[in-house]
Amino acid sequence: MKVLGKAVLICLLITNVVFYLPQMNELGASDEFILPNNLEFYCSPSQDPDISRNFWAYDFDLEEYYEIESTLLTSGEYCLFYMQDSMISQIGAAQAQSLCEMYKDEFDTLIYPTVVEFAGNPNGTLGDIDGDPRIIILINDNWVSYYSQRNEIVTPYSNQCEMVYIYYPSSLIIDTIAHEFCHLVCFNYEFDEVHFILEGLAEYATYQCGYLEPYGNESRRTSYFLDSPNDPLIYFDVAARDYGGSYLFSFYLAEQFGTQFLSDLIQHEDDGARGIETALDEAGYNITFNQLYLDWITALTINELGFDDNKYGFQNLDVKIEDITVVDDIPFVSESMDVWCYGSNIFELAESPNGFTITTGIPSSGKIGLSVAYHDVDGWHVTQEISTMEITENVHGNNIDSAYVIVTYF
């Protein structure tokens, strides 16, 4: 390692790459639950709902199904609110009624119309299994709020209705209802969409409803990803950082290509990264998913607008990645680095020379992605490359005062 004139060689050798296996099951489904090839439906004519009803639910601690005895406390234009009987006894009938009336009004006037406009009709292509267009919302003491695909097909432990389970007490009941209702709508269009897209859309639905505005449009799990940018975007492990990354990615898609792009994505036949590429192509954008990822992670690193069509920043989010390795001394060599697939390691040069060279190692498989963002008297500049071979990037600026190097693996 040596300095060549004003060029500093920064060697980032990728020798240890960790792969993360995807977790595809929806919360609330058992490990044995597989969507059958031939779906069986039973559609009954709409009728008055039962005042008292038992619902199947899933115990995430015991990993088994059990029944919840509940009572219908209020019905709206688009919803039926049931509460677990033991909870009604615990908090009192008057408070239980008041809470459900409040939730019902919010669902009918804001959540339902907003999510339907964004994601589509709850019937989707699957249809209405119980013949009642209203959504059942069960308030219960299960510590996980969730939506289960099982309830919309004829299968063991199915309630055969469109419903979501909402945990009480929780300070986030309203936005959680919006999140889970979005899941319900998406499943009625997409049986097999990948988890990071589904969760990103559901988190974005809470933004669409206005529930994130008091928090600068950040979700409650955004910070977990900003502290862990090496978390693999496309592999979902149901951790807080996964939700945060998925939301930030959906937010970026909406700002770059419009909210309608997300709506179209829900109803698109292709899934995952391929589905995003296909949707982008149909919308007239010539960009690969890998390039899109590099643009997104660069935007999260510098969050700057005003150049390159504003693709390296956010208009409505004031966020930046927190987990950045500061390089105090150069030349700098990293002989081994764990890079997760669709995760990133980010470096900031504490003192930026006017010219430097970055060289990566050759990945043992797949592709390496490199994004270099630097600021000088002429503003911000970004150079990027994706390759199966060694990458060498020569950077020359005019009084560089800030520089970032982003390394990822595809």
Q: What is the DSSP track for 312-328?
A: TS-SS--------EEE-
Distance of alpha carbon 178 from the chain centroid: 14
Share of the chain above pLDDT 70, in %: 88
Ordered by start, the domain boundaries in the chain are 41-193
Please give the full DSSP string across 114-156, using - where no structure is assigned.
HHHHHH--TTTTT--TTS--SEEEEEES-S--B--GGGGSSST
pLDDT on residue 47: 65
Tokens read off for 176: 């959680």
Q: Per-residue pLDDT for 407 more than 80?
A: yes
Tokens read off for 398: 């005019």
Give the burial class of 379: count Cβ atoms within 10 A of its Cβ; 0-12 exposed, 13-18 middle, 19 or more buried. Answer: exposed
Exposure string of 307-338, with b = 16+ CB inside 10 Å and e = fewer, is: eeeebbbbeebebebeebeebeebbbebeebe
Query: Average pLDDT of 101-114?
Result: 98
Q: Sign of dihedral through CA atoms 389, 390, 396, 397?
A: positive
pLDDT on residue 21: 28
Contacts of 297 (CB under 8 A, 6+ apart): 229, 321, 344, 346, 371, 406, 408
Query: Average pLDDT of 271-295?
Result: 95
Strands (E), 259-378: 325-327, 332-334, 338-340, 344-349, 355-360, 368-376
Contacts of 330 (CB under 8 A, 6+ apart): 3, 8, 10, 349, 351, 353, 356
Q: How far apart are CA 68 and CA 141, in angstroms?
A: 10
Query: Average pLDDT of 298-311?
Result: 98
pLDDT on residue 46: 53
Higher pLDDT: 255 or 35? It is 255
pLDDT on residue 19: 26
pLDDT on residue 318: 98
Q: How far apart are CA 226 and CA 231, in angstroms?
A: 10
pLDDT category, 83, cuts 50, 70, 90?
very high
Q: Which helix (H) or strand (E) holds 281?
A: helix 272-282
Q: Per-residue pLDDT for 339 more than 90?
A: no
Q: How far apart are CA 181 and CA 111, in angstroms?
A: 8
The DSSP output letter for 359 is E
For the chain, the C-alpha Rg in angstroms (whole number) is: 24
Q: How far apart are CA 253 and CA 255, in angstroms?
A: 6
> The whole model's pTM is what?
0.88
Q: Tell me the average pLDDT of the chain.
A: 87
Q: What are phi and psi of 311, to 5 degrees?
A: -85, 0
| 358-398 tens-digit pLDDT | 998 888 889 999 999 999 999 999 999 999 999 999 999 99
Contact criterion met (CB below 8 Å) for 326 and 350: yes
Q: What are phi and psi of 141, to 5 degrees?
A: -100, 10
Contact criterion met (CB below 8 Å) for 213 and 186: no
Residue 122: count of CB within 10 angstroms of its CB: 23
pLDDT on residue 11: 39
pLDDT category, 219, cuts 50, 70, 90?
very high
Question: Pairing mode, if any, of strands 325-327 and 344-349?
Answer: parallel
Tokens read off for 279: 């949707």
Tokens read off for 17: 């790459």
Q: Which helix (H) or strand (E) holds 223?
A: helix 222-226
Question: Pairing mode, if any, of strands 52-59 and 64-75?
Answer: antiparallel
| 157-166 tens-digit pLDDT | 999 999 999 9
Contact criterion met (CB below 8 Å) for 323 and 1: no
pLDDT on residue 351: 83
What angle (nearest 5°) sits at the alpha carbon of residue 36, between those of residues 250 and 34? Answer: 65
Q: Per-residue pLDDT for 239 more than 70?
A: yes
| Identity of the residue numbered 75 | S
